[in-house]
Protein backbone atom coordinates (compact mmCIF):
# COMPACT_ATOMS: atom_id res chain seq x y z
CA UNK A 1 0.00 0.00 0.00
CA UNK A 2 1.35 3.42 -1.01
CA UNK A 3 -0.13 6.75 0.08
CA UNK A 4 0.60 9.93 -1.87
CA UNK A 5 -0.15 13.58 -1.22
CA UNK A 6 0.24 15.95 -4.18
CA UNK A 7 2.07 13.17 -6.00
CA UNK A 8 4.65 12.68 -3.25
CA UNK A 9 4.92 9.41 -1.35
CA UNK A 10 4.11 10.00 2.31
CA UNK A 11 3.56 6.42 3.43
CA UNK A 12 4.27 2.90 2.25
CA UNK A 13 3.46 -0.43 3.87
CA UNK A 14 4.23 -3.99 2.79
CA UNK A 15 2.88 -7.20 4.28
CA UNK A 16 3.35 -10.72 2.97
CA UNK A 17 0.68 -13.27 3.76
CA UNK A 18 -2.47 -14.99 2.63
CA UNK A 19 -4.95 -14.16 5.38
CA UNK A 20 -7.56 -11.42 5.48
CA UNK A 21 -5.40 -9.17 7.65
CA UNK A 22 -2.56 -8.78 5.15
CA UNK A 23 -3.99 -5.73 3.36
CA UNK A 24 -5.10 -4.25 6.68
CA UNK A 25 -1.58 -4.62 8.08
CA UNK A 26 0.04 -2.99 5.04
CA UNK A 27 -2.48 -0.13 5.17
CA UNK A 28 -1.87 0.45 8.88
CA UNK A 29 1.89 0.50 8.30
CA UNK A 30 1.46 3.07 5.50
CA UNK A 31 -0.85 5.22 7.63
CA UNK A 32 1.61 5.30 10.54
CA UNK A 33 4.41 6.34 8.19
CA UNK A 34 2.19 9.00 6.59
CA UNK A 35 1.18 10.39 9.97
CA UNK A 36 4.84 10.96 10.82
CA UNK A 37 5.56 12.49 7.40
CA UNK A 38 2.73 15.03 7.25
CA UNK A 39 4.10 18.58 7.64
CA UNK A 40 1.79 19.65 10.46
CA UNK A 41 2.71 20.70 13.97
CA UNK A 42 1.48 18.42 16.73
CA UNK A 43 -0.84 20.97 18.26
CA UNK A 44 -4.58 21.47 18.71
CA UNK A 45 -5.07 22.15 14.99
CA UNK A 46 -3.22 19.06 13.75
CA UNK A 47 -6.30 16.83 13.61
CA UNK A 48 -8.18 19.36 11.46
CA UNK A 49 -5.19 19.80 9.14
CA UNK A 50 -4.79 16.04 8.74
CA UNK A 51 -8.49 15.64 8.01
CA UNK A 52 -8.32 18.31 5.29
CA UNK A 53 -5.21 16.76 3.74
CA UNK A 54 -6.72 13.27 3.82
CA UNK A 55 -9.25 14.29 1.17
CA UNK A 56 -6.37 14.75 -1.30
CA UNK A 57 -4.43 11.60 -0.41
CA UNK A 58 -4.40 8.93 -3.13
CA UNK A 59 -4.15 5.18 -2.58
CA UNK A 60 -2.02 2.77 -4.60
CA UNK A 61 -2.56 -0.92 -3.83
CA UNK A 62 -0.53 -3.82 -5.24
CA UNK A 63 -1.70 -7.39 -4.63
CA UNK A 64 0.83 -10.16 -5.25
CA UNK A 65 0.10 -13.50 -6.86
CA UNK A 66 1.84 -16.85 -6.32
CA UNK A 67 5.63 -17.00 -6.03
CA UNK A 68 7.52 -18.65 -8.88
CA UNK A 69 11.12 -19.78 -8.21
CA UNK A 70 13.80 -18.08 -10.32
CA UNK A 71 16.82 -20.04 -11.51
CA UNK A 72 19.90 -18.85 -13.34
CA UNK A 73 23.54 -19.73 -13.87
CA UNK A 74 24.62 -16.07 -13.80
CA UNK A 75 23.49 -12.70 -12.49
CA UNK A 76 22.49 -11.74 -16.03
CA UNK A 77 20.33 -14.85 -16.41
CA UNK A 78 18.66 -14.18 -13.07
CA UNK A 79 17.97 -10.53 -13.97
CA UNK A 80 16.50 -11.51 -17.34
CA UNK A 81 13.90 -13.66 -15.58
CA UNK A 82 12.05 -10.53 -14.48
CA UNK A 83 9.88 -8.40 -16.78
CA UNK A 84 10.25 -4.70 -15.79
CA UNK A 85 7.10 -3.24 -14.26
CA UNK A 86 5.34 -6.61 -14.43
CA UNK A 87 7.19 -8.83 -11.97
CA UNK A 88 7.97 -8.21 -8.34
CA UNK A 89 11.01 -9.79 -6.67
CA UNK A 90 10.93 -11.93 -3.53
CA UNK A 91 13.65 -13.76 -1.65
CA UNK A 92 13.72 -16.27 1.16
CA UNK A 93 16.42 -17.31 3.61
CA UNK A 94 15.17 -19.97 5.96
CA UNK A 95 11.77 -18.87 7.21
CA UNK A 96 12.32 -15.17 6.44
CA UNK A 97 10.73 -13.77 3.29
CA UNK A 98 11.24 -10.29 1.82
CA UNK A 99 9.77 -8.77 -1.34
CA UNK A 100 9.98 -5.67 -3.54
CA UNK A 101 6.91 -4.82 -5.59
CA UNK A 102 7.05 -3.67 -9.24
CA UNK A 103 5.61 -0.25 -8.37
CA UNK A 104 8.66 0.59 -6.26
CA UNK A 105 11.02 -0.82 -8.88
CA UNK A 106 9.38 1.31 -11.57
CA UNK A 107 9.50 4.49 -9.50
CA UNK A 108 13.22 4.07 -8.80
CA UNK A 109 14.16 2.86 -12.29
CA UNK A 110 15.44 -0.43 -10.89
CA UNK A 111 15.30 -3.69 -12.83
CA UNK A 112 14.88 -7.24 -11.63
CA UNK A 113 18.58 -7.65 -10.85
CA UNK A 114 18.61 -4.53 -8.67
CA UNK A 115 15.40 -5.70 -7.01
CA UNK A 116 17.01 -9.04 -6.18
CA UNK A 117 19.97 -7.24 -4.59
CA UNK A 118 17.60 -5.06 -2.55
CA UNK A 119 15.85 -8.18 -1.28
CA UNK A 120 19.19 -9.84 -0.48
CA UNK A 121 20.26 -6.78 1.49
CA UNK A 122 17.03 -6.79 3.49
CA UNK A 123 17.69 -10.43 4.33
CA UNK A 124 21.07 -9.49 5.76
CA UNK A 125 23.15 -11.10 3.03
CA UNK A 126 26.53 -9.67 1.97
CA UNK A 127 26.94 -7.75 -1.32
CA UNK A 128 28.07 -10.73 -3.38
CA UNK A 129 26.98 -11.89 -6.86
CA UNK A 130 23.43 -13.22 -6.85
CA UNK A 131 24.56 -16.58 -8.23
CA UNK A 132 26.87 -17.02 -5.23
CA UNK A 133 24.09 -16.09 -2.81
CA UNK A 134 21.65 -18.54 -4.34
CA UNK A 135 24.26 -21.31 -4.45
CA UNK A 136 26.10 -20.81 -1.17
CA UNK A 137 24.19 -18.20 0.82
CA UNK A 138 20.89 -20.02 1.23
CA UNK A 139 18.98 -17.46 -0.84
CA UNK A 140 15.99 -18.58 -2.89
CA UNK A 141 14.69 -16.00 -5.35
CA UNK A 142 11.15 -15.75 -6.68
CA UNK A 143 9.19 -13.59 -9.05
CA UNK A 144 5.51 -12.75 -8.77
CA UNK A 145 2.88 -10.91 -10.77
CA UNK A 146 0.65 -8.28 -9.21
CA UNK A 147 -2.69 -6.63 -9.67
CA UNK A 148 -2.39 -2.90 -9.11
CA UNK A 149 -5.20 -0.49 -8.27
CA UNK A 150 -4.58 3.23 -7.89
CA UNK A 151 -6.47 6.49 -7.60
CA UNK A 152 -5.68 9.26 -10.07
CA UNK A 153 -6.85 11.85 -7.53
CA UNK A 154 -8.13 11.87 -3.97
CA UNK A 155 -11.61 10.38 -3.63
CA UNK A 156 -11.67 9.11 -7.22
CA UNK A 157 -12.62 5.58 -8.20
CA UNK A 158 -9.44 3.47 -8.50
CA UNK A 159 -8.32 2.13 -11.87
CA UNK A 160 -6.26 -0.91 -12.78
CA UNK A 161 -2.69 -0.10 -13.80
CA UNK A 162 -0.31 -2.07 -15.97
CA UNK A 163 3.38 -1.21 -15.76
CA UNK A 164 2.47 2.00 -13.98
CA UNK A 165 -0.09 3.23 -16.51
CA UNK A 166 -3.80 2.86 -16.99
CA UNK A 167 -4.79 0.29 -19.58
CA UNK A 168 -6.55 2.15 -22.42
CA UNK A 169 -9.10 0.16 -24.37
CA UNK A 170 -8.95 0.08 -28.16
CA UNK A 171 -12.30 1.86 -28.34
CA UNK A 172 -10.86 4.82 -26.41
CA UNK A 173 -8.04 5.42 -28.91
CA UNK A 174 -9.27 8.26 -31.10
CA UNK A 175 -7.57 11.01 -33.09
CA UNK A 176 -8.61 13.55 -30.46
CA UNK A 177 -7.23 11.42 -27.64
CA UNK A 178 -3.92 10.88 -29.44
CA UNK A 179 -3.65 14.62 -30.06
CA UNK A 180 -4.26 15.36 -26.36
CA UNK A 181 -1.65 12.78 -25.40
CA UNK A 182 0.88 14.46 -27.70
CA UNK A 183 0.03 17.88 -26.23
CA UNK A 184 0.51 16.56 -22.69
CA UNK A 185 3.81 14.87 -23.57
CA UNK A 186 5.14 18.10 -25.09
CA UNK A 187 4.11 20.12 -22.04
CA UNK A 188 5.71 17.54 -19.75
CA UNK A 189 9.04 17.77 -21.57
CA UNK A 190 9.04 21.56 -21.51
CA UNK A 191 8.14 21.58 -17.81
CA UNK A 192 11.40 19.74 -17.08
CA UNK A 193 13.45 22.82 -17.97
CA UNK A 194 16.45 23.51 -15.74
CA UNK A 195 15.30 26.19 -13.29
CA UNK A 196 18.56 28.12 -13.06
CA UNK A 197 20.15 30.64 -15.39
CA UNK A 198 22.75 28.17 -16.65
CA UNK A 199 22.15 26.56 -20.07
CA UNK A 200 21.77 23.06 -18.61
CA UNK A 201 18.64 22.23 -20.60
CA UNK A 202 16.59 19.48 -18.99
CA UNK A 203 16.46 18.10 -15.49
CA UNK A 204 17.28 14.42 -15.15
CA UNK A 205 15.00 11.55 -14.13
CA UNK A 206 12.78 12.32 -11.15
CA UNK A 207 12.86 9.79 -8.32
CA UNK A 208 9.52 10.21 -6.49
CA UNK A 209 10.60 7.99 -3.60
CA UNK A 210 13.61 10.17 -2.75
CA UNK A 211 11.99 13.38 -4.10
CA UNK A 212 15.02 14.33 -6.17
CA UNK A 213 16.37 14.25 -9.72
CA UNK A 214 19.00 11.63 -10.49
CA UNK A 215 21.02 12.68 -12.36
CA UNK A 216 20.30 16.33 -11.65
CA UNK A 217 20.93 17.25 -15.31
CA UNK A 218 19.72 14.99 -18.10
CA UNK A 219 22.45 13.35 -20.23
CA UNK A 220 23.15 14.70 -23.70
CA UNK A 221 21.46 11.75 -25.43
CA UNK A 222 18.25 12.30 -23.46
CA UNK A 223 18.28 16.04 -24.18
CA UNK A 224 18.82 15.52 -27.91
CA UNK A 225 16.06 12.89 -27.92
CA UNK A 226 13.71 15.35 -26.22
CA UNK A 227 14.59 17.99 -28.82
CA UNK A 228 13.78 15.49 -31.58
CA UNK A 229 10.44 14.64 -29.99
CA UNK A 230 9.48 18.31 -29.64
CA UNK A 231 10.53 19.09 -33.22
CA UNK A 232 8.40 16.26 -34.55
CA UNK A 233 5.50 17.34 -32.34
CA UNK A 234 5.70 20.86 -33.77
CA UNK A 235 5.50 19.49 -37.32
CA UNK A 236 2.34 17.42 -36.71
CA UNK A 237 -0.71 18.90 -38.49
CA UNK A 238 -3.23 20.22 -36.01
CA UNK A 239 -0.79 21.01 -33.21
CA UNK A 240 -1.79 24.31 -31.54
CA UNK A 241 0.31 27.05 -33.13
CA UNK A 242 1.35 28.66 -29.85
CA UNK A 243 2.44 25.36 -28.32
CA UNK A 244 4.21 24.31 -31.53
CA UNK A 245 6.16 27.59 -31.51
CA UNK A 246 7.15 27.06 -27.88
CA UNK A 247 8.18 23.48 -28.68
CA UNK A 248 10.48 24.52 -31.52
CA UNK A 249 11.97 27.32 -29.43
CA UNK A 250 12.55 24.94 -26.52
CA UNK A 251 14.08 22.28 -28.79
CA UNK A 252 16.39 24.87 -30.35
CA UNK A 253 17.49 25.92 -26.87
CA UNK A 254 18.29 22.34 -25.92
CA UNK A 255 20.41 21.80 -29.01
CA UNK A 256 22.20 25.13 -28.57
CA UNK A 257 22.92 24.35 -24.92
CA UNK A 258 24.61 21.09 -25.85
CA UNK A 259 27.12 22.99 -27.99
CA UNK A 260 28.15 25.33 -25.16
CA UNK A 261 30.96 23.65 -23.27
CA UNK A 262 32.66 25.33 -20.32
CA UNK A 263 36.28 24.71 -19.45
CA UNK A 264 35.22 22.73 -16.37
CA UNK A 265 33.14 20.12 -18.21
CA UNK A 266 33.55 17.46 -20.84
CA UNK A 267 32.00 17.97 -24.26
CA UNK A 268 28.54 16.34 -24.01
CA UNK A 269 28.64 15.63 -27.75
CA UNK A 270 31.93 13.73 -27.59
CA UNK A 271 29.84 10.57 -27.35
CA UNK A 272 29.10 9.39 -30.94
CA UNK A 273 25.54 8.30 -30.16
CA UNK A 274 24.70 11.64 -28.54
CA UNK A 275 26.26 13.53 -31.44
CA UNK A 276 24.28 11.47 -33.95
CA UNK A 277 21.03 12.14 -32.10
CA UNK A 278 21.89 15.86 -32.01
CA UNK A 279 22.24 15.86 -35.81
CA UNK A 280 18.95 14.00 -36.28
CA UNK A 281 17.17 16.44 -33.96
CA UNK A 282 18.68 19.44 -35.75
CA UNK A 283 17.39 18.21 -39.11
CA UNK A 284 13.94 17.57 -37.64
CA UNK A 285 13.94 21.06 -36.16
CA UNK A 286 14.85 22.60 -39.52
CA UNK A 287 11.97 20.71 -41.13
CA UNK A 288 9.55 21.94 -38.46
CA UNK A 289 10.63 25.59 -38.65
Looking at the fold, whether 147 and 107 belong to one and the same domain comes out as: yes
Average pLDDT over residues 138-154: 93
Q: Residue 111 is part of which domain span?
A: 2-165
Percentage of the residues of the chain whose pLDDT score is greater than 70: 98
Output the average pLDDT for the chain. Answer: 90
Average pLDDT over residues 6-25: 90
- pLDDT (0 to 100) of residue 242: 93
Of 140, 165, 190, which residue sits at a domain end? 165
Looking at the fold, whether 144 and 220 belong to one and the same domain comes out as: no
Looking at the fold, whether 123 and 161 belong to one and the same domain comes out as: yes
Looking at the fold, whether 187 and 154 belong to one and the same domain comes out as: no
Looking at the fold, whether 32 and 139 belong to one and the same domain comes out as: yes
Of 165, 182, 213, which residue sits at a domain end? 165
- 59 band by pLDDT with thresholds 50, 70 and 90: very high
**Which residues are 99's β-sheet partners?**
90
Average pLDDT over residues 223-239: 94
pLDDT of 96 > 90? The answer is yes
Does residue 138 come out as left (phi exceeding 0), alpha (psi in the -120 to 50 range) or beta?
Answer: left
Q: Cβ of 240: how many Cβ atoms within 10 Å?
A: 12
Of 165, 196, 212, which residue sits at a domain end? 165
Average pLDDT over residues 259-273: 84
Give the model confidence (pLDDT) of 164-212 as tens digits: 887 778 888 899 999 999 999 999 999 999 988 888 899 998 876 667 8
Average pLDDT over residues 123-132: 93
Looking at the fold, whether 31 and 126 belong to one and the same domain comes out as: yes
- pLDDT (0 to 100) of residue 195: 86
Give the count of domains, the chain: 2
Looking at the fold, whether 121 and 233 belong to one and the same domain comes out as: no
Stretch among 66-70, 104-108, 139-143, 189-193 having the lowest mean pLDDT: 104-108
Average pLDDT over residues 35-48: 86
pLDDT of 264 > 80? The answer is no
pLDDT of 19 > 80? The answer is yes
Looking at the fold, whether 10 and 144 belong to one and the same domain comes out as: yes
String of DSSP letters for 188-243: HHHHTB-SSSS---BB--EETTTTEESSSB--HHHHHHHHHHHHHHHTSTT--HHH
CATH at residue 12: 3.30.1490.150
Smallest CA-to-CA distance from 215 within 194, 189, 199 is with 194
Average pLDDT over residues 55-79: 92
pLDDT of 262 > 80? The answer is no
Amino acid sequence: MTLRLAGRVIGRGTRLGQDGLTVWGATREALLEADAALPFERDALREAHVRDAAASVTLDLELAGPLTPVLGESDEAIASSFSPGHHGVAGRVGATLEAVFPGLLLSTGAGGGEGARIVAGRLGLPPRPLRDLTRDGGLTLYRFETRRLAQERGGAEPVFLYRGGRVVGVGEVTIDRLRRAADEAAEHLMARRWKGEEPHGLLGDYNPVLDRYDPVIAPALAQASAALALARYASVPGAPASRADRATEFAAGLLAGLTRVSTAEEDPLADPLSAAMWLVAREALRAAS
